[in-house]
Structure 1
Amino acid sequence: MRLRGVRTSSNIEDRRGRGGGGIALGGMGGVGLLVVLAIGYFTGIDVTPLIVDQGGGYDQPYEPTPEEQAAAQFTGQVLATTEDVWTEVFREQLNAQYTPPTLVLFSRVTQSGCGGASGATGPFYCPADRKAYIDLDFFATLEQRLGARGDFAAAYVIAHEVAHHVQNLAGILPEVDQARQRASQAEANALTVRLELQADCLSGIWASKVSGLMERGDLEEALNAARQIGDDKLQRDAGRVPQPHTFTHGTSKQRASWFQRGFDSGDVNACDTFSATSL
């Protein structure tokens, strides 16, 4: 992805190295940490107790690596592209004004308006405070453990969380949340799948609008990332037989298909997963 000359968003809250407890680095190297984080992502288990230092501090003064600083700058620039894209789409397609979210960069653990959070569960969006949260270590997990390589794969992850903000502004998130509270677990999971696939489709719209910044292979990087984090693949990689009634994000095929649909159409109306008879 060509980002030279692209501005960096001002809607960044950098909490790296601050608060929320530290990381128990004693006896756990960088590779070991990635393994623990991957286990949490694969299984949906919160592994925060395994990595949080009960003393509440860091073993060493926090000092970001050059690689992490580069990832932070990349994240800020990608966020800026989402701001430009959704400002345009809201104006032209929804006749509304777009208010961008704040993106929080954190290290290992933090607090959100939706409760405590850790890098073990991956990036997420909290509708309560309208903030997206990303531990930059996840990008290494994405590439090294999940097999989603390339900078556009990471950009897709950022765009996906911003898409949840778009859903929140449109009133979709609160409506789905109310419906889930009245539903059985299996029904609630099915609603969540449709919500996540819609976010994938909206991410595809973003990608179509930044196609001038894309390099050869970027689209395939995003599609590959969508396939690598499908529920069926994650469950197989965790040594489990895929159980569709437990899916919360959709299959690899579905995730890639809905991203492609958004990319091909560039139209929010094409992303109505809730009216689709087949996903």
Structure 2
Amino acid sequence: MRWEDFRTSSNVEDRRGIPGGAGGLGIGTIVVLGLIGWALGIDPRLLIGGAEMIANQGGYQQQQGRQGTPQDEMGRFAAAILGNTEDVWGAVLPQQANRPYKPPKLVLFSGATRSGCGAAQSAMGPFYCPLDQTVYIDLSFFQEMQQRFRAGGDFAYAYVIAHEVGHHVENQLDILPRVQARQQEVGTAERNQLSVRVELMADCLAGVWAHHSQQRWQSLEQGDVEEAIAAAEAIGDDRLQKQSQGRVVPDSFTHGSSEQRVRWLMTGLKTGKIQACDTFRASRL
């Protein structure tokens, strides 16, 4: 992927190397809360964040890191991808949805940090917090993609960031608040189904970004699309469940199957249309 010529974003905060982000919760507690969340169909971040607030008597202390473009290659890469999503969505969202685009912030951290949604742990993977409109990522996740999922390459890593930015676009479109409100009213099965639709839409919106980045900057190189497809396949719920527990439980899916993730990513990549990403109207995911 030709990312070196992208404009780097100034909306980056680098907290890597800053201690004290775990909020007092031990890794054992984090793991247990994660398992409970998975079993009950509840976003583990909500449980971890609540436990952290109790542990700290309800206090939320914002960490501050270095502002601006990082100097290391992976940090510059993340800032460049974010900058390119800003340039794409700054044009596409007004054109296709008649809404201005307000870019999210990107926080780089190592190990653990704090977010507006509670504790952020590397084990949780990259995520978007709608409360502070920020994407959080430990860049070591890219190494895990290579080692654990055998899915690597610049475009695969860019897809991960663009997926989280896709959640921000959903937030800008008022989709996330409506879905989260609905999830409080329904049972576990429907709550999980809503989560799957949100995640697949973010996959599709990542494809929309890549479509327009390619059109304007000719950013894709041979093999890039295959890298992203491999990444989407590797993090499908069915494949992850098969690896971790030896069986697949579709009712517990929260992100979608490998086939679904690839299909929706490619839908966005081929069409470049936000409207094509409406997973909530799609009768068949």
* Same-fold status (TM-score > 0.5): yes
Query: How far off its partner does 1:19 sit?
Result: 3.4
Q: For 1:234-245, what aligned pairs fall within 5 Å after superposition?
A: 234-245=240-251
What is the 5 A alignment of 1:97-112? Answer: 97-112=100-115
In the alignment, is residue 12 of structure 1 matched against residue 12 of structure 2? Answer: yes
- Cα separation, 2, equivalents of 1:202 and 1:21: 31
Q: Does 1:225 align with 2:228?
A: no
d(CA) in 1 for partners of 2:5, 2:199: 32
Deviations 1:147-198 (A, max 9, x none): 1111111000000000000001110000000110001011100000000000
Question: 5 Å matches for 1:32-43?
Answer: none
How much does 1:21 deviate?
4.4
Corresponding position of 1:189: 192
TM-superposition CA deviations, 1:29-88 (whole Å, max 9, x none): xxxxxxxx9xx89x9689x9xxxxxxxxxxxxxxxxxxx921111000011110011011
Q: Which amino acid aligns with 1:122?
A: G
- The answer for unaligned runs of 5 or more in structure 1 is 23-36, 49-67
CA deviations 1:91-148 (Å, max 9, x no partner) are 2111221000000000100000000110111000000000000001111001111111
User: How far apart, in 1, do the equivalents of 2:275 and 2:166 lie?
Assistant: 14
> Match of 1:28?
none
2:152–2:227 Cα contact (<8 Å) kept: yes
Looking at structure 1, the residues matched to 21 and 136 of structure 2 have their Cα atoms a distance apart, in angstroms, of: 16
Superposed counterparts of 1:125-144, under 5 Å: 125-144=128-147
Q: Secondary structure, in 3 states, of the residue corresponding to 2:16?
A: coil
Question: Which residue is equivalent to 1:166?
Answer: 169
**Aligned 8 A contact 2:21 2:114 in 1:** no
- How far apart, in 1, do the equivalents of 2:272 and 2:84 lie? 15
Q: Is the Cα contact below 8 Å between 1:20 and 1:111 reproduced in 2?
A: no
Q: Is the 8 A contact 1:228 1:234 kept in 2?
A: yes
Q: 2:284 is matched with which residue? A: 278
| 1:268 equivalent among 266, 274, 277 | 274
How well do the aligned residues superpose, as a CA RMSD in angstroms? Answer: 2.2
1:116 aligns with 2:122: no
Offset of residue 271 of structure 1: 0.5
Match of 1:3 in 2: 3
User: Residue 206 of structure 2 corresponds to which residue in structure 1?
Assistant: 203
**Equivalent residues of 1:101, 1:162 under 8 A apart:** yes
Q: Aligned AA for 1:262?
A: G
In structure 2, stretches of 5+ residues that fail to align are 23-30, 39-43, 49-70
Matched, 1:96 2:102: no
8 Å CA contact retained: 1:3, 1:213:
yes
**SS of match in other structure, 2:137:** strand
Q: How many residues align?
A: 244
**Following TM superposition, by how much is the alpha carbon of 1:4 offset from its aligned partner in structure 2, in angstroms?**
2.6
Cα gap change, 1:21/1:83 in structure 2, threshold over 3 Å: closer, same or farther?
closer
Q: Map residues 78-97 of structure 1 onto 2, 5 A cutoff.
A: 78-97=81-100
> Comparing 87-96 with 74-83, which one deviates more in the overlay?
87-96
Q: Is the 8 A contact 1:205 1:265 kept in 2?
A: yes
Match of 2:52 in 1: none
Contact kept, 8 Å, 1:111 with 1:117, in 2: the verdict is: yes
Local SS of the residue matching 2:98: coil
Q: Which residue of 2 aligns with 1:256?
A: 262
For 1:19 and 1:126, the matched residues in 2 are separated by 21
2:149 corresponds to which of 146, 155, 162: 146
CA–CA separation in structure 1 for the residues paired with 2:4 and 2:80: 9
- Taking the aligned partners of 1:202 and 1:5, their CA distance within structure 2 comes to 22
Counterparts of 1:230 and 1:74, CA distance in 2 = 25
Q: Secondary structure at the match of 2:245?
A: coil
TM-score by length of 2: 0.81
